[in-house]
Amino acid sequence: MKPLGKLTVVCGSMFAGKSEELIRLARRSLYAKRKVQVFKPSVDKRYDETNVVSHMGVSHAAVPVNSVQELKSKLAPDTEVILIEEVQFFDESIIDLAVELADHGKEVICVGLDQDFRRQPFGPMPKLLAAADEVVKLRAICMKCGGPASHTYRVIDGRPAHWDDPIILIGATESYEARCRNCFKLLGSKRKA
């Protein structure tokens, strides 16, 4: 009988602790002597090109990949736990791969932003959330009022981003803040908050 696979999605806003949770889960699996592989999109070079690094500086080795196909080609057949950082940057084929791996008895953990800076569903995340066996939504602390934050707020030269700005802008504290619903404001927004 094959092992029971599982698809877990860890999501939330920037600064909610998603990368730290990925690192914790990877280390936990390693302590259990399971074969683990961690992947990240090569576009994410904020802190390191080959490591997942949290905003607090905690890090774990990862394999940077340019595409879902490259990720699939770098999977070792005996890997038991696959962790994927910043999954929102992959195309929708990541959904089929994650489901296929879980169906074949692998534990798959996808970590990423569930919403973009406009509070819209981000990339493949809505379908990954729907396909998941378990969803963990982490919340940050609002950088304006200190309340619980679920939204990623983009700041450009100290001013709020505009609705029409490009969706992808790799950055950290220089470009983003965690915000609660009350403190979130976007210029030219189709939804007023």
List the catalytic residue out of 86, 100, 107, 174. Answer: 86
- The partner residues of 87 in beta bridges, in order of sequence, read none
Give per-residue burial for 61-99: e unless 16+ CB within 10 Å, then b.
ebebbeebeebeeeeeeeebbbbbbbbbbbeeebbebbb
* Distance in angstroms (rounded) separating the CA atoms of residues 169 and 188: 18
Active site residue 86: yes
Give per-residue burial for 103-123: e unless 16+ CB within 10 Å, then b.
eeebbbbbbbbbbbbbbeebb
User: What count of Cα atoms within 13 Å lies in the side-chain half-sphere of residue 88?
Assistant: 23
The catalytic site residues sit at 86
